[in-house]
Amino acid sequence: MSTNAVAEAVIRPVRDVDAEALGRVHAKCWHQTYDHLISEATLANLSPRRMAELWTHWMSQGPDHHLYVALVSGEIVGFVGSGPARDEDAPRERELYFLYLLEEFQGTGLGQQLFEAACDARPGYLWVAEDNPRAHGFYKRNGFVPDGATQLQPFLGEEIKEVRLVR
């Protein structure tokens, strides 16, 4: 990935017309992120169309939800979403729901730009797969620390162990 392409990247709010492209990118990101945690058969059943339907739902959630995409050369390469806390025992009022970036764009600064668009310097929390060292390093650099909470998160009919990070 050339630094010029990343330098010309655009971070903008999600638009209704993004749902299909987001579905494809989301499915690819899940393959790249969870291939060591989820069975190949389960990931093979992951549908970009179903992911696009989820995005249509997320986009209808209202102004408290902050959804942004990263575009390089006009193509979506990553996305982020934050909003009101969903946990009954939420340690903060805001939650980072997700932040994904295609592998070839990781380490370019685009993830940081997405993070800042959705979260800025506000206090918040998130859940992250326990076995995701790259994400743990990213969130640590952004001031997040584990608070001791863990959960088994249903994921496409399987489960992923997650830890909660708080800032």
Give 5's pLDDT tier (boundaries 50, 70, 90).
low
pLDDT digits (tens, 9 = 90+) for 47-59: 888 888 888 888 8
How many Cα neighbours within 13 Å face the side chain of 29? 21
Paired tokens of 30: 């899940």
Q: Which domain holds residue 154?
A: 3-166
Which pLDDT value is given to residue 14?
95
Provide the number of structural domains found in the chain.
Answer: 1
Q: What CATH number is given to the structural domain containing 68?
A: 3.40.630.30
Alpha helix segments (H runs only) across 35-141:
40-44, 48-59, 110-119, 133-141
What's the gap between Cα 41 and its chain centre? 22
Distance from chain centroid for Cα 12 = 15
Residues 35, 4: Cα–Cα separation, whole Å:
30
CB atoms within 10 A of CB 99: 23
Beta strands 94-101; 125-129: pairing state: parallel
pLDDT of residue 4: 56
CA angle 94, 6, 2 (to 5 degrees): 145
Mean pLDDT across 34-46: 84
- Residue 81 is predicted with a pLDDT of 96
Q: What's this model's pTM, rounded to 2 decimal places?
A: 0.91
Instruction: State what percent of residues in the chain have pLDDT above 70.
Output: 96
Predicted confidence (pLDDT) at residue 3 exceeds the cutoff of 70? no
Mean pLDDT, all residues of the chain: 91
